[in-house]
Structures are given as structure tokens and as C-alpha cells.
A and B are shown apart, each in its own frame.
Chain A
């Protein structure tokens, strides 16, 4: 540590700065594309920005970083997202 340097408690946005957070997940959101109306609410509400909107307008989940919080399932107005247990019943 340079004693003359002032350390600021700031961080720049970067992908997966906390590591592969899929490991925190117990249930995983699955999108039923046939029900999806491309409203984009899941994209708006995802707290970790792991949902991207594809060129065709449908959402796609980045399962490398999705923590499985289930907010997208909660906000989906047409029930096109379901949380499924990743480790079986």
C-alpha cells in the first residue's frame, strides 16, 4: 500500500466480480417462450442484470451468474417463468 495514496471505496461495474454466483442457486428460472409477450419486465427487475433481451425481443437468462432469487418469476404478468428445483425433488 502506497502511504501517500488515498483509497476510495469505489468499484467499477464488471461482469461477475463476485465470482460464479450460479453456485448460490437452489432453484432456477425457466422461461416458456411460447407464453412470453416480450414485455421486458423480467429484464427490468433482475437485480443482477443476468437477463438479456435478444434481437428477436425474447429474454435470455445468463445461468452463469443468475442467483435464482425468483424475482423474474414473481413479476412476470403472464406466468411465462417458472422456478424449477435444480437438484431434483
Chain B
């Protein structure tokens, strides 16, 4: 590579990696409201705008609900829009979250995961983000600052595809990713401009020459058809996301897999399924266990909606044991990923024992040693697949 085509590498936090992606994506409108641990994303974006490094309209909203409402208005007018939030801010935004999906608006948002109070907290678990799972948002989950940067750019391309036209969320863990600094390789502006569609090609819903209203009362059957239309777009998006990630992989020379990243899973007898920051500890645990001859692998979920059904079924058929690590819980049912994966396995006659561990809630530590202990519990027959095991750092509470 000559000097002119060299890419910039910076030491960035996960949040600042998102800010740089938003800057390179030439986003038009950014409605914002601060909340820990999201705030540094929009602080950095405001820096860019104030220093004339980026030309965008920043709207200082009076709440997250208003921020998403402003995002909806801007997106309906054909602008490229980004916003970000966490935890209680996301829940306050929640009504407008559904509005954005049902109105088919290609908004991209960053969700920095954080527990929901009370009691008060600032540390990560995934329950806030997983409230989006029935809404019609496409849901990405990153596990490094570099991946935050890459996924945010991919999100715009997926959202704006005329055959998809759905909002895309990109999530990453609060503090563990959002405030940890890592080397991040940025794409050059020309590369991003060539990769992303021209924002002027976004088909605006609103047009002053042809007035319409969005969301008027339809008959009930039409209303159901709108929901089915979202369903079909979501099903189509599964293949399209792979295409976008493939194109991006050729461009960036970085390979995370597609909807799922596999790590030493091909010949594994026991496969961990994880999501987000704690997947890094799982990789270390896999390496340590493999040094002792244990055939262990890892599958990290990168896209939760649309659910990577065929990838999961394939892994279920390879393995003798599937161990799902949930950093979330659905009260009265179990870990959300474990329960969803079990229901997929049932559909496809996969009878592999599938264990669900609920751990890392409210930012509790999940270390490589914890994965090794969980592995021992499963192989020594200490736990049943039908139970939801509450695993704390160090073990199960007696």
C-alpha cells in the first residue's frame, strides 16, 4: 500500500469507535439525550460537529422519548439518522422504538447495554437491549471496539436497503467495551463513501409536494399485513446481512463470521454460545481447556434478530453438549438465548442436551475460570438441561 491509501489506526474506546463510524457515514441528523454509559458517543459526535469535521444537525432533545421521536421525523423526511442510549433511557424511548420499526424507518442506533434498576447501577447486562427483540428492529451485538466501528457502518447499509427498510440497533457492553480503549483501524472516507449507499437515495416517506400521513387508522386486516410485511423483510434481511458482511470483510480484511462467529467449534464436542464482551473470556477458556485435550468450542452470536436459525441448528448437530451463557433473564422462563435456542432445536429435531446458565447480570464478573467451572459442571453431570442455573462469579450460590 502506498502512503495515500494507508488507513488510520487509532486507540479508541468502543463508544468513540461508534462516533467515528457515524462521522464517516455522513449522518445528517443526530438527536441525542445523555445517559451513562452511552454519553461519550454523542459527546464525541458533538465535538466533530463543533470543530467542523462533520456536517450534521445535532438535536439536543429533552428526553430519550423525544430523541427517538425526532429521529423518526428526520428519517421520514429522508435523512440518515443516528442516535444512542442505554438502560433506562432505552426503556423511556421504548414506545418510539416500536414506532420507528412499524413506520419502516432506516434509523441506526447504538445501544450500550446496562442493567435496569432499581437498585441503581451502571454496569452491563443485556436485558435492556433484549427488550427490542419483538419490535422489528434488526439487532447486532458487538464484542470489541473494532467490531462496534465495523457493525455501525454495516448497519446503515442493511437498514437502508429498499428490500429491508428496518431500523438497526448495534449493541455493546457498557464499560467493558464502551469505555475500554483498543486499537481500531478506521476505513478511509472514500472507502466508506463507496461502501454505503448515497444518503440522498433514501426514499423519503414525507414529501411536501405529495402530502401523506403516517400511521393513520387502517382496517384490522391491513394492520396485520403491515406486521407481516415487517416479518418478510426480516426474513430477507438474514441473507442480505450476510452479503453486506461479506462485502465488508473483503474491504476491511477482517473476519468475524456472519450472524455467528465460531471459535474452534468445527470439531468441538461441547460448544459454548455467548454474546457480547464476555465472549472474550470464553475464548481464553476454550484455549485453556483445549491445552488439556478437551474438545471445546465457542459460538458468539453477532446478530440476534433475525435469529441465526440455520447456524444454530448446524452447531446443535455437531456438538454433544450446547452450553448457552445468558447475560440476561426472562423472569418466569429463563435465560432468553437459551430458551430461544432450545425452541429452535425442537423445531429441527435437534436433541443435543442444551444447558442454560444465567450469569454476569448487573456487571458481575465472568472470568475464563468461570467458563471452565461451568464446563466441569456440565461434563460431571452436576446440572440438568431442563434447569436454569444461576451462576455467580466463582460458582453457584448455595
Contact = CB atoms under 8 A, between A and B. Distances in A.
Interface of A: 1, 3-13, 18
B225 interface: yes
Contact of A1 (B162, B211, B217, B228): B228
**SS of B interface (majority):** loop
Contact of A13 (B165, B211, B215): B211
B226 interface: yes
**Which of B162, B214, B232, B233 has the most chain A CB atoms closer than 10 A to its own CB?**
B232
A5 B163 CA distance: 8
17 contacts: A1-B225, A3-B232, A5-B229, A6-B104, A6-B233, A8-B104, A8-B214, A9-B102, A9-B103, A9-B215, A10-B205, A10-B212, A10-B213, A10-B215, A11-B212, A11-B218, A13-B213
Nearest to B165: A6
Contacts of B211: 12-13
Contact of B229 (A6, A10, A13): A6
A7 B212 contact: no
Contact of B162 (A6, A9, A11): A6
B51 interface: no
A1 B232 CA distance: 11
A43 to B, nearest CB: 18
A9 B215 CA distance: 5
Nearest to A12: B212
A11 B59 CA distance: 28
Contacts of A6: 104, 162-163, 165, 229, 233
A73 B334 CA distance: 58
Contacts of B216: 9-11
Given A6-B165, A6-B233, A9-B216, 20 more contacts: A1-B228, A4-B163, A5-B229, A6-B162, A6-B163, A7-B225, A8-B103, A8-B214, A9-B102, A9-B104, A9-B218, A10-B205, A10-B212, A10-B216, A11-B212, A11-B213, A11-B216, A12-B210, A13-B212, A18-B217
Contacts, number: 44
B106 to A, nearest CB: 11
Nearest to B206: A10
A39 to B, nearest CB: 26
A10 B103 CA distance: 8
A4 B218 CA distance: 21
B163 A8 contact: no
Contacts of B213: 10-11, 13
A4 B162 CA distance: 10
Nearest to B102: A9
The 5 residue pairs across chains A and B that have the minimum distance between CB atoms: A7-B229, A11-B216, A10-B212, A9-B215, A7-B226
A13 B217 CA distance: 13
Contact of B214 (A4, A7, A9): A9
A31 to B, nearest CB: 28
A80 B164 CA distance: 54
Contacts of B225: 1, 7
Nearest to B229: A7
Interface string B182-224: 0000000000000000000000010000111111111000000
Contacts of A18: 217
B360 to A, nearest CB: 38
Given A1-B225, A4-B163, A10 B214 contact: yes
Contacts of A5: 229
A7 to B, nearest CB: 4
B89 to A, nearest CB: 26
A4 to B, nearest CB: 7
Nearest to A1: B225
Contacts of B228: 1
Contacts of A11: 212-213, 216, 218
Contacts of A1: 225, 228-229
**Which of A1, A9, A10 has the most chain B CB atoms closer than 10 A to its own CB?**
A9
A8 B229 CA distance: 9
A11 B212 CA distance: 6
A3 B228 CA distance: 9
A4 B236 CA distance: 9
Contacts of B217: 18
Contacts of A3: 232
Nearest to B103: A9
A9 B136 CA distance: 14
Contacts of A9: 102-104, 214-216, 218, 226
